[in-house]
Amino acid sequence: MNKVTHLLDTSALLVHYFDEPGAGVVEQLWATGSARPGVSAVTVTELKHRLGEEMSDRGEAREAAAAYLNELTVCLPADRLVAEFAWQLKEASAERIPLAAALIAATARAAGAVLVHRDPHFERIPLTVVDQVVLPA
């Protein structure tokens, strides 16, 4: 199976790493043979930054990021199609969607993948545009 089925937002990876509510949902995506989790290229920057902020041991933060980004997921590019989709999402939303979030959601849309997250700003995007799994807060 080569196609990414689920796109994990940075929030989903952090939920899993810190074993917060919803971590089991993310774990199950790796455990099942029918799912193939991926991340947006935008998540690479976000995850490394957030783990660096949250963890006092920089080496451990780098190792954790590497495990999620290199071993557990496939990284999808933020190319021209993704940029166009992100612009459309931002234009269609009545409320502000941060650019990074729009690019991540647009990556899911371009891949035909389910967006897995715990960020309220993604909920502004209709499920008819990007299918979503919302992890508990």
Print pLDDT tens along the chain (137 aa): 469 999 999 999 999 999 999 999 999 999 988 889 999 999 999 999 999 999 999 999 999 999 999 988 999 999 999 999 999 998 888 788 999 999 999 999 999 999 999 999 898 888 888 999 999 98
pLDDT at 65: 95
- Which CATH architecture does the domain made up of 6-134 adopt? 3-Layer(aba) Sandwich (3.40)
- Contact residues for 131 (Cβ-Cβ < 8 A; gap 6+): 108, 113, 114, 115
Task: Supply the angle between the helices 80-92 and 99-111 in degrees, to the nearest 10.
Answer: 120
The residues spanned by each domain of the chain are: 6-134
Can you give the pTM of this predicted structure?
A: 0.93
